[in-house]
Amino acid sequence: MTDVAGSLWQRIVAGFSQSPTPLVTATELLLIILVATALSLPRASWRYFGLLATVTHELGHAFAALMTGQRLGGIRLSLDHSGTTTTYSRGRLPAVWSTFWGYPVPGVVGAAMVWSGFNGWGPAAMSVGTLILLCSFLFIRNAMGLLITSAAVLGSALLVLFVPPEFTGHVVIALGLALLVAAVRDLGKLSNVHLRRRDRLPTSDAHLLYRATSVPSAVWIFLFAAVVAGAWWVAWQPMVQVLAALLAG
């Protein structure tokens, strides 16, 4: 066990050096898009991959809270993809800031991963993600949350240990695209709560922001979508160059 932990730490540290830029063909990119879609859209795969999106969502709240000097009470996660991040703030603005950064974060993280994968920083993205997941154990406050986070850490650790650095970029691109698709799916789910499942409004970040600011929930959903759209635009830039080569050929 000590040897495994030592190897994992060495691979994490080694990941912070830039690796050769991966050669992603148009055919491979199309396959990656299919894999990302298969992870985030079908119910069978979403049941599991959606938990990673939930972890990312709640960590977005937590990081935004720490950025503004709030005290982080803890994170609770459930298998039904729900989660709660408890923060303590003395001002309204910091609380609004941390509440906002839930739904957009899977898209932002996904775009960062896609960019990293295409530019030779895939191993670094994987190392950073593994360290963040490890640190998140400090804030998990329920048994199911520990189980979900442990599964995410295990998956990340296996990728760090067994995926060669020259292939890590390809894996990171696929995971990043899957998170981008997940961000869109979650926005659709949020919109459905406000349109058809209004009994669940108390769990909606947009509704909580409305209560805190009197700005309509629809405005907050639009702002979530704008950030996610911006993340897609960033991710699309390296992808369009690969696809352009296919069309030119």
Rounded Cα distance between 106 and 229, Å, is 12
In the predicted structure, residue 224 carries a pLDDT above the cut 80: yes
pLDDT at 163: 87
d(CA 89, CA 32): 41
Q: Does residue 15 or residue 53 have the better pLDDT?
A: 53
Instruction: State residue 196's pLDDT score.
Output: 84
Q: Where are the beta strands (DSSP E) in the chain?
A: 71-77, 83-88
Is 33 in a helix, a strand, or coil?
helix
Domain spans of the chain, in order of start: 23-248
132-150 average pLDDT score: 95
**pLDDT tier at 23, thresholds 50, 70, 90:** confident
The pLDDT assigned to 2 comes to: 65
Q: What is the pTM of this model?
A: 0.93
Minimal CA–CA distance to 176: which of 15, 56, 25? 56
The answer on pLDDT for 171 being more than 80 is yes
Please give the average per-residue pLDDT across 224-249, as a whole number. 89
pLDDT of 97 reads 96
pLDDT per position as a tens digit, 179-211: 999 999 999 999 999 988 777 888 899 999 999
